Chain A
Amino acid sequence: MALQILAVAVVVGAFLYLGNNLRNELIAKGLPTDFSFLSQPTGVTIADSNFDPGSPVWRALLAGIKNTFLLVIVGIPFLTILGTLIGVARLSTNWLVAKAAMVYVETLRNIPPLLIILFVFNAVILQLPPPRDPATPLDWFVISNLKIMGPWYDTSTGAGALLIIALIAVVAAVVVGIWRTRYSEQTGAHSHRVLWGLGVFAVIVLLGYFITGRPVSISLPVLDGRVITGGFGGLGAYFAVLIALVMYTASHVAEIVRGSIQAVPRGQTEAANAIALSGFQRLRYVILPQAFRIALPPIINQYLNFAKNTSLAIAIGFAEITLITFQAIGNGYPAPQLILLLMGAYLLFSLTISLLVNILNRRLQLVGN
């Protein structure tokens, strides 16, 4: 008990002492000691956006969080797919494929991610044609070293109705899927529920598309003097961070996937072979479902690492939250509070994900034996 009181006293004492120092130093430097500066104008400019430098600091921070999320949300599906493919490839019986995957993994995961980002940005993205004379492959893309744009969609009146129809189509597809599953359970015939579901969805959406008068069209990016109209895309710096971190994190995911597949007992493979499943069936119905359970927690950990590594975008000037914080500090706002907010934002994100993983883990645990 005495030890506990001592420990708490030491920590509280240290906090009080440091807090007091912090207060005195902030006052001595003429900086605010609270968070009131958040409503003052930032003076931060964000490339390729209509962000007004006169808006308050908290708005700039929110814009930074949005850009961080744009990296995370787009990056995670790509790194998952790439990592899984490479992880499976490492176990391929084809010697060439297995070796190529091994070289990829061993090269990428032993190089600092910051270095990969700088390389992709300087040696790949910046070597693209200048914005005045961009490359336009297929007329579908407009690619320059400043911005990369691809096709997107345009909506006109009736798009809302189509969205509702699409939602109805999803419900219908689910209902059909359930019906097929029941049918399969009763008769023993193959359910083909994914095919049925997709078919129902496609038919309804296609009908709706014509009934509502074709409200959605493809929008191609067009270079119009200095600006690009239509299409969708992002800054070169955004793609540099995205490509570099996806490649780097995929090498770690690949190792996890490989390890998890190898962790599935050999007897499972032999049993699958004994009942004459094909190679694909063995992977799809026997190995991967079991490997997935082992791989999930470490892969989510890699997602978190990916999210935290997006902060490295600061090195090439992509305006995510860390860069915005850095710039706000440069504009004379107090560093301690801003960095605390920055840490708080990442922490909130990390803890939320950890909590979800714990819940998921409990549900995935094998029940019984």
Chain B
Amino acid sequence: MKKNLFSNWYNSLLTIVFGALILWVLYVLVKYLIGVDTEIIRVNLKLYMAGRFPSEQLERLWGAIYVATATVAFFARATVRNAQMKATEAGLDFERSHWTDVVRRFWPIGALILFTLSFTGTFTPTLLTLVAAAIGLAAYWLGGMMPMWLIRRSWIILVAGLVGFYAVLVAFGGVGWDLWQGFFVNIVITVAGISLAFPLGLMLALGRRSTLPAVRVLSVTYIEFLRGVPMITLLLMGAFALGFLIPGDFQFSLFLRLLIAITLFQSAYIAEVVRGGLQSVPKGQIEAAQSVGLSPWKTMRLVVLPQALRNVIPAMVGQFISLFKDTTLVYIVGLLDLLRAVTISTAQPEFFAQGLEAVVLPFAALYFWVGSYVMSRESRRLEKKLGVGVR
């Protein structure tokens, strides 16, 4: 204690100054938290989470959440079993992570869900959340009976989950994506944006390393152009200019136009991330593949890409976080995301001009903070586990 805080005079001075500063911040924070009136959050919670999603169809949204939970749990089990299988094949010990470990990694998300539920008026949402948790656990348990072929091709689970997710929301007179709003749309745009941008980014990265000059120049131009402009210019393009490129009266909805713009923008960044991965694969690997007579295509598919993509997982998570935060920019072009939802709630007659931005903006910030913080911790964990750069 003394060594860390009061070893010499300037260290003591620093301790006292910072101690005073921290106490002052804590004082302001506590005073603020005691005085805060959360009425606006309780009234508008549905607006924040789901925007103007039709209330009589809300069960579809819960259904979609269940599908997503089940998919994630099922996929997680497949990943664990895949790793286990590979370790056994290689004759290594497989250390299965304990459930307390999983809790330690993801508790902020659980805490955030409980925090959100504390603002609900009825018991129904809590009950429905408990059902979601039960479905997740059941799916994880059921994943234990997954056949071998499915474990080896776990992407099938994700595709099936995606189809199910969309079907539950939209099929048979459901709610189209024009009404996907609130925090829900932030999550949808993040996941969809990265997933759609990945194939494009991969192609661009390969194009940039191509031996064909024309392909290389085209890829480099695309990547550097998009990396040189702010994302908001792409969103403005999507909102105001994309319509001019499509002939006649056929028009996309705002959501779709923004998703296209975001996908185009993210693909340039993903291309750079993947390029880093490609460069991390030692030259000897390619030479070895060639010497056993693999074609260039097979060298890429069987030798280079598996190693490159494994190495870029942490950086991809970083890109995911960055897009998650950037989804708030749709605020500017008028999509009703979480940020727009909280700001319009302060314009409602009963909450107007009472300085409630100081309440709802930190509330919204909490959601982005928890998501980004948990993911960045995961990214660091993966980095250590994969040993990127230290092998």
Q: Which residues does A use to contact B, with CB under 8 Å?
A: 3-5, 7-8, 11, 18, 21-22, 24-26, 92-97, 100, 106-107, 109-116, 118-119, 122-123, 127, 308-309, 311-312, 314-315, 322, 325-326, 329, 335-336, 339, 342-343, 346-347, 350-351, 354
A100 and B329 contacting across the interface, CB-CB below 8 Å? no
Distance, CA A24 to CA B18, complexed state (A): 64
Given contacts A18-B245, A123-B358, contact A110 B224 (CB under 8 A): no
By a CB distance below 8 angstroms, the chain B residues around A325 are 236
By a CB distance below 8 angstroms, the chain B residues around A26 are 244
**Is chain A's binding surface mostly helix, strand, loop or mixed?**
helix
Query: Taking the complex as formed, is B130 at the interface, i.e. its CB lies under 8 A from any CB of chain A?
Result: no
A122 and B212 contacting across the interface, CB-CB below 8 Å? no
Query: Taking the complex as formed, is B22 at the interface, i.e. its CB lies under 8 A from any CB of chain A?
Result: yes
Contact size range, B: 35 or more
A110 and B368 contacting across the interface, CB-CB below 8 Å? yes
Distance, CA A110 to CA B237, complexed state (A): 27
Query: Taking the complex as formed, is B21 at the interface, i.e. its CB lies under 8 A from any CB of chain A?
Result: yes
Identity of the chain B residue whose Cβ is nearest the Cβ of A5 in the assembled complex: B214
Query: Taking the complex as formed, is B233 at the interface, i.e. its CB lies under 8 A from any CB of chain A?
Result: yes
Interface string of B202-238 (1 = CB under 8 A from A): 0000000000111100100000110111111100110
B230 and A322 contacting across the interface, CB-CB below 8 Å? yes
Question: Which of B18, B241, B245, B328 contacts A114, CB < 8 Å?
Answer: B328
Identity of the chain A residue whose Cβ is nearest the Cβ of B216 in the assembled complex: A4
B4 and A94 contacting across the interface, CB-CB below 8 Å? yes
Question: Which of A100, A326, A343 contacts B18, CB < 8 Å?
Answer: A100
Distance, CA A26 to CA B343, complexed state (A): 35
Distance, CA A24 to CA B231, complexed state (A): 27
Identity of the chain A residue whose Cβ is nearest the Cβ of B228 in the assembled complex: A350
Interface string of B338-370 (1 = CB under 8 A from A): 010001000000000001011001101100110
Query: Taking the complex as formed, is B387 at the interface, i.e. its CB lies under 8 A from any CB of chain A?
Result: no
A115 and B11 contacting across the interface, CB-CB below 8 Å? no
A25 and B243 contacting across the interface, CB-CB below 8 Å? yes
Interface string of B149-179 (1 = CB under 8 A from A): 0000000000000000000000000000000
Known: A8-B218, A312-B329. 14 other contacts (CB 8 A): A4-B215, A25-B246, A92-B14, A96-B18, A100-B18, A112-B339, A114-B332, A115-B361, A118-B343, A119-B361, A308-B229, A325-B236, A347-B225, A350-B229
By a CB distance below 8 angstroms, the chain B residues around A21 are 244-247
Given contacts A93-B4, A335-B240, contact A111 B365 (CB under 8 A): yes
Interface string of B240-254 (1 = CB under 8 A from A): 110111110000000
4 tightest A-B CB contacts, nearest first: A122-B357, A350-B228, A110-B372, A335-B240
A110 and B369 contacting across the interface, CB-CB below 8 Å? yes
A336 and B372 contacting across the interface, CB-CB below 8 Å? no
A351 and B228 contacting across the interface, CB-CB below 8 Å? yes
By a CB distance below 8 angstroms, the chain B residues around A106 are 373
Distance, CA A367 to CA B233, complexed state (A): 41
Identity of the chain B residue whose Cβ is nearest the Cβ of A92 in the assembled complex: B14
Q: Which of A95, A116, A339 has the most chain B CB atoms closer than 10 A to its own CB? A: A339
Question: Which of B215, B228, B369 contacts A346, CB < 8 Å?
Answer: B228
By a CB distance below 8 angstroms, the chain B residues around A119 are 357-358, 361-362, 365
Distance, CA A26 to CA B339, complexed state (A): 33
Q: A215 CB to closest chain B CB, in angstroms?
A: 40
B233 and A96 contacting across the interface, CB-CB below 8 Å? no
By a CB distance below 8 angstroms, the chain B residues around A326 are 236
Query: Taking the complex as formed, is B30 at the interface, i.e. its CB lies under 8 A from any CB of chain A?
Result: no
Q: A339 CB to closest chain B CB, in angstroms?
A: 5
Question: Which of B241, B244, B331 contacts A315, CB < 8 Å?
Answer: B331
A314 and B232 contacting across the interface, CB-CB below 8 Å? yes
A94 and B5 contacting across the interface, CB-CB below 8 Å? yes
Q: 13 A-B contacts, Cβ less than 8 Å apart?
A: A18-B245, A22-B245, A25-B246, A96-B15, A106-B373, A115-B339, A116-B365, A122-B361, A308-B230, A311-B233, A322-B233, A335-B236, A350-B227
Distance, CA A26 to CA B247, complexed state (A): 11
Q: A62 CB to closest chain B CB, in angstroms?
A: 18
Identity of the chain A residue whose Cβ is nearest the Cβ of B373 in the assembled complex: A110
Distance, CA A346 to CA B304, complexed state (A): 35
Given contacts A322-B233, A343-B233, contact A335 B18 (CB under 8 A): no
Given contacts A94-B11, A119-B365, contact A100 B21 (CB under 8 A): yes
A95 and B369 contacting across the interface, CB-CB below 8 Å? no
By a CB distance below 8 angstroms, the chain A residues around B230 are 308-309, 311, 322, 346
Distance, CA A18 to CA B237, complexed state (A): 14
By a CB distance below 8 angstroms, the chain A residues around B227 are 350
Q: Which of A26, A110, A119 has the most chain B CB atoms closer than 10 A to its own CB? A: A110
Distance, CA A3 to CA B211, complexed state (A): 11
B244 and A25 contacting across the interface, CB-CB below 8 Å? yes
A339 and B241 contacting across the interface, CB-CB below 8 Å? yes
Identity of the chain B residue whose Cβ is nearest the Cβ of A119 in the assembled complex: B361
Q: A350 CB to closest chain B CB, in angstroms?
A: 4
Query: Taking the complex as formed, is B326 at the interface, i.e. its CB lies under 8 A from any CB of chain A?
Result: yes
B228 and A122 contacting across the interface, CB-CB below 8 Å? no
By a CB distance below 8 angstroms, the chain B residues around A18 are 245
Distance, CA A122 to CA B339, complexed state (A): 13
Given contacts A96-B5, A119-B361, contact A22 B244 (CB under 8 A): yes
